[in-house]
Every structure is written in C-alpha cells, then in structure tokens.
C-alpha cells in the first residue's frame, strides 16, 4: 500500500506540475513531503549520493593553533648595551623593516667615530692620489723636454702607485665602517632614535610571538629580545596516538575547528611528523599548516579540535555526514527525488556504523546511488514532520 501511494503521488506530481505542491497534506504518504520550486529555492537544499568508497578511519584529537617554528625568527641584540625602547608586544603585527627594539650602546658610538675617521682618511687618500697623479703628469712632460731624469719620473710613478693603494685601503675601510653602522641601524628611516642607539628591525612581515626583554634591561650581543613569525605560517599541533602512526604521512589533509568559529571547519595539510614516539604518552607530535583561507582568522594558541583521517581501507557504503538525522527516535536519511521543478522528500530509516565529520557508514536501509539530502537535511526532516503532523490533525 505504501509503495502504491508513493507511485500515485509521483504520478500526480508529474502530471500536475505546481498543482502537486498544493496537494493537501492528508494526501501525502507518511514520512514524506512534497516541495515545490519556491520551497526548494528558499530552503537551499543540496543532494548527494550514497556511494561505495574506501573507508578512512578518523581520530578526533585535541590540538592548538601555533606558528610553524620554521617560519619564526628569534631576534637577538646586535650590540652590548641598555634597552631604551621595546616597540612591539606579543600579538602585534609588524612590517618588514619596522623598528622593534632600540638599544643604547657604546658600540654604536665607536662605530660612528670609526665612520667619521674612515671618511676623513678616504678624503685624504683621494687628495693624495690626485696630487701624485699630477706630479707624474708634470714629470713626464719634463722628461719629454729632457729637463728631468728618468729615475725621478719612476720615483713619481711609484709614489702614485702607493697613493692609489692607500686610497683603495681607505675606501675599503670606509665601506666597512658604513656597512657596520648600517648593520646596527638596519634599512629604513631611523626617526627620532638616539644617534648612539642600535635599532633591531622586523626581518619580514609577520606577528610578534614572544618578547623576553624590557626597557632598561642590559643586554649582551646575541641575547634574545623577541621572536617574529611569518603571518602565513599558522597551523595546528596535535599528538597522535601510536596506533594511528601508520595512517599518516606528509601531505595528508586534516580538518579542525576552533571555539571562535563553532560553525566553521578549517582545512590543513600535514607538513611535519615527529620521528620520535614520546615514551610516556606513546604519541607523536604532528604539525599541519592551515589553508591560506584560514590564516587571517586564526590566532596562535587558540585551542582546537582536530580530525585526522587514516589510510584508505575496504570499500563500504557511506553518505555525507550531514545527511544523517534523528527522526522520532530513529536514525534516518532523507532521500530526495526530483519531480519536475519540485522534490519528493522521504525519511528512510537506516543503520549507521562508523562515522567521521565528513562521512557516515550505512549498514542498511540505502543502496549505492540513492540520492540523499545533504545541505538542508535538518530542514527537510522538519518539513516531513510538519506534513506528518498536519496529516494526523486532519484525521
């Protein structure tokens, strides 16, 4: 009787077009609903298919958002001195070349003095070489007039060679002095910084992840000041149980959620797997870089719930996870059948096996190729319940 009623309903929809959508709820078979084109458009329903495909086990694991250590650069002091300013805090976004720390140092004073001395020496050497070249030119003219000995001209030429060597050495020292001052100041404007201060700048666009120095603190050369990580280097760190190791590999995808966006999942791809199993927890650390679309939304140290899929297993019938619904105490999948511009919805009771956030294994109730409602499945279930209630009220 149920099958005959469904056939009659489908025939009515096929023949009547929009009139089928106006069929009284009392004519609708139990656990079904008939939607017209307007209802479909408003509901935003989407269909998927029950399919036989290799099953992938999934592990649900706690994780946290972190910057990739390979994309983070600790910044140390360039000189020995006293910290005058720290212009960035953890979480601050910085631009390449931005001054982050100002350090007052006697080394900066010495570097500037050496630069002044080198400039003076280079100027003097340039002048001496010019004089030596003029002397050689004059001597060669006198030699041509037989007014000077050849030996005197050779002496002048040797003096010119020595002056050129001195000039080259002076300019090399000048280049070194300028380079050292530039090293202590970095590329970019110095602003109102003390002329005796060395400037520590951001090496690239990124975010400050750590700060270990305070204004007034005395620091040594190389002492850690703060750490900057690249903006696009966020991902998740999780600890994977030993039994799941065989199912993971570099490049494998995973998905995760964070409390800040409870209705959104983020994709990531494994880029590093620890080669060592922790002897206490029997787990390995896995790091996965988040997709580019997530980088602007995430923040380091957010907590996360990650799902990691294992290797492909035996083929099994499954449907998209969002298709599975609870219906009056039963587990159902809403099948969708296109009828012209409308759709017939039918709640089909199923037995569900394993689940992941993406797929649900179907042990009975569906066949491969059956069309099921995925997006809007909860709304489809509600529509069936509404039609069912209207039918009972009519009786």
Tell me the CA distances in angstroms from 345 to 1, 34, 280, one per residue in order: 18, 6, 52
Q: Are 267 and 64 within 8 A, CB to CB? A: no
Tokens of residue 380, six digits: 């489809």
Over residues 158-165, the mean pLDDT reads: 96
- For the chain, give percent helix, strand, coil, nearest 5: 35, 35, 30
pLDDT at site 55: 83
**Residue 6 confidence (pLDDT) above 60:** no
Q: What backbone phi and psi angles, to 5 degrees, belong to 237?
A: -115, 130
pLDDT at site 19: 44
DSSP summary character for residue 302: -
Mean pLDDT check: name the lowest of 12-16, 130-134, 141-145, 358-362. Answer: 12-16
- pLDDT band of residue 391 (cuts 50, 70, 90) is low
Q: Which residue has the higher pLDDT, 236 or 192?
A: 236
**Residue 184 confidence (pLDDT) above 50:** yes
Q: What is the pLDDT of residues 195-216, one digit of tens each?
A: 889 999 999 988 898 899 999 9
Tokens of residue 378, six digits: 């909860």
- Please count the other Cβ atoms lying within 10 Å of the Cβ belonging to residue 155: 14
pTM, to two decimals: 0.57
Tokens of residue 282, six digits: 């029997």
pLDDT at site 75: 94
pLDDT at site 120: 96
The secondary element (H helix, E strand) that includes residue 186 is none
Mean pLDDT check: name the lowest of 67-71, 75-79, 147-151. Answer: 67-71
Tokens of residue 289, six digits: 């870089």
Q: Could you tell me which residues are beta bridge partners of residue 270?
A: 288
Q: What backbone phi and psi angles, to 5 degrees, belong to 151?
A: -60, -35
Over residues 217-224, the mean pLDDT reads: 93
Pairwise CA distance, residues 25 & 22, whole Å: 8
* Cα dihedral sign, 206-211-215-217: negative
pLDDT at site 246: 74
pLDDT at site 341: 86
The label of the residue with tokens 């009220």 reads 393
Tokens of residue 191, six digits: 């602003």
The label of the residue with tokens 């002056």 reads 163
Q: Could you tell me which residues are beta bridge partners of residue 337?
A: 344
Q: What is the pLDDT of residues 81-98, one digit of tens each?
A: 999 999 999 888 899 999
Q: Are 285 and 235 within 8 A, CB to CB? A: no
Over residues 66-73, the mean pLDDT reads: 84
**Residue 71 confidence (pLDDT) above 90:** no
Pairwise CA distance, residues 233 & 157, whole Å: 62
Tokens of residue 137, six digits: 């030119």
Packing angle of the helix pair 106-144, 150-185 (nearest 10 deg): 160
Bridge-based pairing of strands 234-241 and 51-67 is antiparallel
**Residue 8 confidence (pLDDT) above 50:** no
Q: What is the pLDDT of residues 229-263, one digit of tens each?
A: 887 788 999 998 887 787 788 888 888 999 999 88
Q: Are 237 and 274 within 8 A, CB to CB? A: no
Q: What is the pLDDT of residues 333-350, one digit of tens each?
A: 999 999 888 899 999 999
Q: Are 45 and 343 within 8 A, CB to CB? A: yes
pLDDT at site 29: 56
Three-state SS annotation for 70-86: HHEEEEECCCCEEEEEE
Mean pLDDT, the chain, whole residue set: 86
Q: What backbone phi and psi angles, to 5 degrees, belong to 130?
A: -60, -40
CATH number for the domain formed by residue range(s) 59-69+231-311:
2.40.30.170
**Residue 193 confidence (pLDDT) above 80:** no
- pLDDT band of residue 41 (cuts 50, 70, 90) is confident
2-58+314-394: what fold?
2.40.420
Q: What is the pLDDT of residues 264-274, one digit of tens each?
A: 989 999 999 99
**What letters, b where the CB count within 10 A reaches 16 and e where it falls short, cover 305-330?**
bbbbbbeeeeebbbbbebbbbebeee
pLDDT at site 2: 43
Pairwise CA distance, residues 21 & 25, whole Å: 10
CA angle 378, 324, 308 (to 5 degrees): 115
CATH number for the domain formed by residue range(s) 72-104+197-229:
2.40.50.100
Going from N- to C-terminal start, the domains of the chain cover: 2-58+314-394, 59-69+231-311, 72-104+197-229, 106-195
Pairwise CA distance, residues 342 & 23, whole Å: 13
């Amino acid at each position: 009787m149920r099958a005959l009623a469904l056939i009659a309903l489908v025939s009515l929809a096929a023949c009547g077009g929009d009139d089928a959508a106006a069929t009284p709820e009392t004519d609708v078979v139990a656990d079904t609903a008939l939607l017209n084109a307007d209802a479909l458009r408003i509901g935003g329903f989407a269909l998927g298919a029950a399919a036989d495909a290799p099953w992938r086990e999934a592990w649900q694991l706690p994780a946290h958002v972190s910057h990739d250590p390979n994309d983070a650069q600790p910044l140390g002091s360039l000189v020995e001195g006293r910290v005058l300013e720290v212009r960035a805090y953890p979480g601050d976004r910085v631009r390449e070349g931005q001054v982050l720390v100002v350090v007052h140092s006697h080394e900066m004073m010495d570097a500037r003095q050496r630069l002044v001395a080198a400039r003076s020496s280079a100027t003097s050497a340039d002048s001496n070489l010019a004089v030596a070249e003029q002397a050689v030119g004059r001597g060669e003219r006198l030699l041509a007039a037989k007014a000077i000995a050849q030996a005197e001209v050779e002496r002048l030429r040797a003096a010119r060679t020595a002056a050129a060597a001195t000039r080259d050495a002076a300019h090399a020292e000048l280049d070194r002095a300028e380079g050292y001052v530039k090293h202590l100041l970095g590329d970019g404007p110095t602003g109102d910084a003390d002329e005796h201060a060395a400037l520590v700048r951001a090496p690239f666009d990124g975010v400050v992840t750590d700060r270990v120095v305070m204004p007034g603190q005395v620091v040594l050369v190389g002492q850690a000041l703060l750490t900057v990580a690249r903006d696009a280097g966020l991902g998740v760190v999780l600890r994977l149980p030993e039994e799941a190791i065989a199912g993971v590999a570099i490049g494998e995808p995973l998905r995760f959620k964070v409390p800040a966006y409870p209705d959104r999942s983020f994709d990531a791809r494994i880029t590093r797997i620890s080669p060592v199993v922790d002897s206490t927890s029997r787990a390995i650390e896995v790091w996965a870089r988040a997709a580019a679309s997530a980088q602007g939304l995430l923040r380091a140290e957010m907590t996360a719930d990650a799902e990691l899929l294992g290797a492909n297993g035996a083929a099994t019938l499954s449907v998209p996870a969002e298709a599975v619904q609870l219906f009056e105490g039963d587990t159902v999948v809403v099948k969708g059948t296109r009828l012209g511009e409308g759709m017939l919805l039918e709640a089909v009771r199923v037995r569900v096996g394993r689940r992941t956030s993406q797929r649900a294994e179907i042990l009975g109730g569906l066949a491969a190729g059956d069309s099921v409602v995925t997006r809007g499945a909860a709304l489809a279930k509600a529509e069936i319940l509404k039609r069912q209630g209207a039918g009972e009220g009519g009786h």
